[in-house]
Chain A
Amino acid sequence: MEFLNALVSLSNFMLIPALAYGSQLALGALGITLIYSILRFAHFAHGDTMALGTAAVIGGTFALQGAGVSIAPLPTALLAVPIGVVAMVLYLLAADRLVYRYYRRVRAKPMIFVMASLGVMFVTNGITRLFMGVGETRFEDGARFVFSVRDFRAFTGLSEGLALRNAQAITIVTALIVMVALFWFLNRTRAGKSMRAYSDNEDLALLSGINPERVVTITWVITGILLVLAGTLYGLDKGFRAFNYFQLLLPMFAAAILGGLGNPLGAIVGAYVVAFAEMGVTFAWRRVASYLLPDGFEPSGMVQLLPVDYKFAVTFMILVIVLLFRPTGIFKGKVL
């Protein structure tokens, strides 16, 4: 019983939130890693593009709500995701045509691409704030819980409760579906295979008749889908604030580097490692410990390794450790 209570408490406050957060990061990190392996630069505008995509979804959600459309118990935002995806794919392709394509043509150094992505980041940031301001917007509707703490207690009779929020369940399920679909696409379809070929050896791919502009376009389309989903799920889970999306940049990059930049499977594993490390180190273990330790040994403090404010430090430490010991990531980078 004690052990079960400990497990439930741990799941409720750490495992489930970390799983949801990790799924959101994974979708974001996948986009970063895809861009890195095809376009060969670190996409600094990723966080802000996610924010803009989410803003588009929020706009769509409000419009749908205004028209009285609802798919309760699911949040209306899911219906609006296609709107956001279309908007963001167009936006990313426009950015590619207006900005990045020129540097591809002149074969600029990777750092110039990064610099250009900073410019795109500024513009995207400005547009997002023009629409949404800097405050927090919540757009979650429908049912809040798949099952709540009270349901769980009544069902199991345990003293600790476990709740599964709708947003968390949707996040985990969606991420799973998207990942499977992405791997199916990369491994089974012609377009996916041409992407892998292009990433592996650009010259050879050109020689075998793969159209690079087409590969690039497909990459941006997939990135658009991934980042709108990642942004929307994150927003449903934690509320939308433009600045928070910018700050996701660091954990997403850390995840992608940890898994080996350019390696999609690595990005997913990396994302969950980062998420669980962040939550685990900043989690107050007191309650869990009080169940597991024998009577009389209950900890007096919070048993929290670091305050929540330092979650970036955890990500950063992971990054440092990877850079010091395994700069190519746990899986070797650049294999799509």
Chain B
Amino acid sequence: MTARGYILFALMALALAGVGAFQSWQLAITILNMSLISAIMALGVNMQWGYAGLFNVGIMGFTAVGGLAVVLVAQPPVPEAWAAGGLGALLGLLLGVASILAAVVVYQRLPKGRLRGLAVFAVLVVGYFITSAVFGPATQAIEAVNPASEGYLGGLGLPVVLAWPVGALFAAGVAWLVGKVSLGLRSDYLAIATLGISEIVIAVLKFEGWMSRGVNNVTGIDRPVTRPVDLQAAPWVQSLAETLGWGVGQTASVVSGLGYAGLFILVLGVLIWLSERAWNSPWGRMMRAIRDNEVSARAMGKDVKQRHLAIFVLGSAVCGLAGAMMVSMDGQLTPGSYEPLRFTFLIWVMVIVGGSGNNWGAVLGGFVIWFLWVQVEPAGRWFMELVTSGMADGSDLKAHLLGSASYMRLLTMGVALLLMLRFAPRGLIPER
């Protein structure tokens, strides 16, 4: 990292410290933790965009799949639900996969022609009806089990940290499917395909209640760090609170937040170390060569499509990891809260502002943009109050403007993105 990078990171730390001193340390820690997660997402996107020039607008989907992994790994299983329809649901899934595979086999074996089309169609139709005959009743039975608090299969009841790599694996699987279909075609196709898959992932999370409880949310997921409530009882926290002169509740939540921060910094550190190694390796040089001139890279005998697929899967896996970490920090999976603006496009702003093609830049972008995202809202409210101060109290326009202050952040992010792209396209910490 250059001197410029160190200075920028120092300024960022100062800004966070300022939040701690003037607003509250709890807020500062919350921003820090989410910034760390955002930085990991930005790192993943930077692999795809900065290393390979791939445009992924489905980040939301990959993070959500990572989040699902937390539920499936860490939640205790629900034995009644398993008894009611667990096997049926699994069998249904297998049948679904089997019918798609059968269609693929038929497609490959039969000669080209109308017969092949009809045969593939017939296999899919028959497969669909068999699958739904098994799958439908099973999932209904599962969702009927104690629907107020369960109504899903639950997970494996394993330690929650295990879910993080599993989340990465899930995201990698989804990315492999998408990449297999849309890479090697016109570059915009990947963008549109990823946009689609992310909407589908969210739809699945929302409506497959047997798996994720859907819009009923899974709450109370096991956390890797002791919860503030449990910390409050610990004598060392109480004595720490006394030394600092804070309330016990505040101290406990700061300590708990710092625990997460430690874990996240560890993960981020390992990822950055690996990314930097990769960037400086022959592999990294090859990726940049492909990015900068696909045709000549192909002439040198590089399999561009395979390399693109590999880096796309890798970057998405990192996003999945970050998604899993986020869910285990919140302790809940809320499919309704996944919004493309927040989980896809904001991450893009981070990468562009931070500096695409530079790992440290992406990380810094994650910090800066998340900080702005949180802090622009009060600033927007202040701005709106300034604008409306001349208006009569109780006027509709004033109330409306004050009420919409929170949308100022979208506007700000867009302007930030456009300005950076235009005047400093290489970002805060440019690629070396």
A binds B: yes
Where the two chains meet, the residues of A that have a C-beta atom closer than 8 Å to any C-beta of B are 41-42, 44, 98-99, 102, 110-112, 114-116, 118-127, 129-131, 133, 246-247, 249-250, 253-254, 257, 261, 305, 307, 309-310, 312-313, 315-316, 319-320, 323-324, 327
Check if A110 sits within 8 Å of B418, measured CB to CB. no
In the complex, whether B9 has a CB less than 8 A from a CB of chain A is: no
Please give, as numbers and ranges, the residues of chain A lying within 8 Å of B401 by CB-CB distance: 130
Q: Chain B residues with Cβ under 8 A from A257's Cβ?
A: 189, 192
Closest to A256 in B: B192
> In the complex, how many angstroms separate the beta carbon of A97 from the nearest chain B beta carbon?
12
Q: Which residue numbers of B lie inside 8 Å of A, CB to CB?
A: 53, 55, 57, 128, 181-182, 185-189, 191-193, 195-197, 199-200, 203, 206-207, 340-341, 345, 348-349, 352, 401, 403-404, 407-415, 417-418, 421-422, 425
- CA A253 to CA B94, docked complex, whole Å: 32
Residues of B with C-beta under 8 A to A307: 207
- Residue of B192, B199, B203 with most partner-chain A CB within 10 A: B192
| Contact yes or no, B192 A253, CB < 8 A | yes
Q: Within the complex, which residue of B185, B203, B407, B408 is in contact with A313, where a contact is CB–CB below 8 Å?
A: B203
Given A115-B348, A309-B206: A315 touches B53 (CB 8 Å cut-off): no
Known: A122-B349, A305-B128. 14 other contacts (CB 8 A): A42-B192, A116-B418, A118-B345, A119-B414, A119-B417, A121-B345, A125-B414, A126-B409, A133-B403, A309-B203, A310-B203, A310-B207, A320-B181, A327-B185
* Chain A residue contacts of B192, Cβ below 8 A: 42, 250, 253-254, 257, 319
Contact A111-B187, Cβ < 8 Å, known A116-B421, A125-B341, A305-B128? yes
Cβ contacts under 8 Å, B348 to chain A: 115, 118
A301 to chain B: closest residue by CB: B136
**Could you list some 10 contacts between A and B, CB below 8 A?**
A112-B421, A115-B55, A119-B415, A119-B421, A123-B411, A123-B418, A130-B404, A130-B408, A261-B186, A327-B186
* CB within 8 Å for A110 and B188 given contacts A126-B407, A129-B407: yes
Contact B191 A122 (CB under 8 A): no
Q: Which residue of A lies closest to B53 (CB)?
A: A111
| Closest 3 pairs (CB-CB, A-B) | A122-B414, A126-B411, A126-B410
The residues of B that contact A253 with a CB separation of less than 8 Å are 192, 195
Q: In the bound complex, how far is the Cα of B120 from the Cα of A324, in angstroms?
A: 15
A188 to B183, CA, bound (A): 39
Contact residues in B for A42 (Cβ distance below 8 Å): 188, 191-192
Residue among A44, A102, A323 making CB contact with B193, cutoff 8 Å: A323
A-B contact count (CB 8 A): 126
Cβ-defined partner of B422 (8 Å) among A99, A124, A247, A250: A99
Q: How far is the CA of A269 from the CA of B327 in the complex (A)?
A: 42
B195 and A249 contacting across the interface, CB-CB below 8 Å: yes
Are A129 and B410 in contact, with the CB atoms below 8 A?
yes
Known A-B contacts A114-B188, A126-B410; the reply to A246 vs B200 at CB < 8 A is: no
Q: Which residues of A contact B412 (CB under 8 A)?
A: 126
Given contacts A119-B418, A122-B417, contact A323 B182 (CB under 8 A): yes
Closest beta carbon of chain A to B405's beta carbon, Å: 9
Q: Are A133 and B404 in contact (CB under 8 A)?
A: yes
Residue of A122, A316, A323 touching B200 (CB-CB under 8 A): A316
Report whether A327 and B189 are in contact in the complex, using a CB–CB cutoff of 8 Å. Answer: yes
Contact present for B345 and A122 (CB under 8 Å): yes
In this complex, what residue of B is CB-closest to A247? B199
Q: Report yes or no: B414 in contact with A126, Cβ–Cβ below 8 A.
A: yes
Contact of A323 among B181, B349, B408, B414 (CB under 8 A): B181
* CA–CA, A250 and B189, complex, Å: 12
In the bound complex, do residue B413 and residue A122 qualify as a contact, i.e. CB atoms below 8 Å apart? yes
Q: A307-B207, A312-B196, A316-B196 are in contact. Are A127 and B411 (CB under 8 A)?
A: yes
Residues of A close to B417: CB separation below 8 A: 115, 118-119, 122
- CB of A99 within 8 A of CB of B418, answer yes
Within 8 Å CB of B410, what residues of A? Answer: 122-123, 125-126, 129
A residues in contact with B341, CB < 8 Å: 122, 125
CA of A136 to CA of B400, assembled, Å: 15
Which partner residue on chain A sits nearest B349 by CB separation? A122
* Chain B residues positioned under 8 Å from A130 (CB to CB): 401, 404, 407-408, 411
Known: A110-B188, A115-B348, A305-B128. A312 touches B414 (CB 8 A): no
Distance, CA A327 to CA B408, complexed state (A): 39
Give the Cβ gap from A306 to chain B, nearest Cβ, in Å: 9
Query: Is A110 within 8 A of B189, CB to CB?
Result: no
B414, A250: Cβ atoms closer than 8 Å:
no
Report how far A307 CA is from B105 CA in the complex, Å: 28
The complex places the Cα of A111 from the Cα of B192 at a distance, in Å, of: 12
Contacts of A250 in B (CB 8 A): 192, 195-196, 199
A129 CB contacts on chain B under 8 angstroms: 404, 407, 410
Cα A166 to Cα B212 with chains together (Å): 41
Give A103 Cβ to nearest chain B Cβ, in Å: 8
- B197 and A316 within 8 A (CB): yes
Q: Is the CB of A312 within 8 A of B404?
A: no
Closest chain-B Cβ to A303's Cβ sits at a distance in Å of: 11
CA distance A129 to B403 in the complex (A): 11
Is there an interface contact between B181 and A324, defined as CB atoms closer than 8 Å? yes
A115 touches B352 (CB 8 A): yes
B55's contact among A114, A315, A327, by CB below 8 Å, is which?
Answer: A114
With a cutoff of 8 Å between Cβ atoms, the chain A residues found around residue B414 in the complex are 119-126
Q: Which residue of B lies closest to A131 (CB)?
A: B404
Task: Tell me how far the C-beta of A145 lies from the nearest C-beta in chain B, rounded to whole angstroms.
Answer: 32
Out of B191, B207, B407, B413, which one reaches A114, CB within 8 Å?
B191
Could you tell me if B408 and A126 are in contact, using CB atoms closer than 8 angstroms? Answer: yes
Q: Which chain B residues border A324 with CB–CB below 8 Å?
A: 181
- List of A residues within 8 angstroms of B128 by Cβ: 305
A173 to B398, CA, bound (A): 40
CB neighbours (8 Å) of A131 from chain B are: 404
Residues from chain B with a CB closer than 8 A to the CB of A123 are: 410-411, 414-415, 418
B41 to chain A, nearest CB (A): 16
- Whether the pair A320, B193 counts as a contact (CB closer than 8 A) is yes
Give chain A residues whose Cβ lies under 8 Å from the Cβ of B197. 316
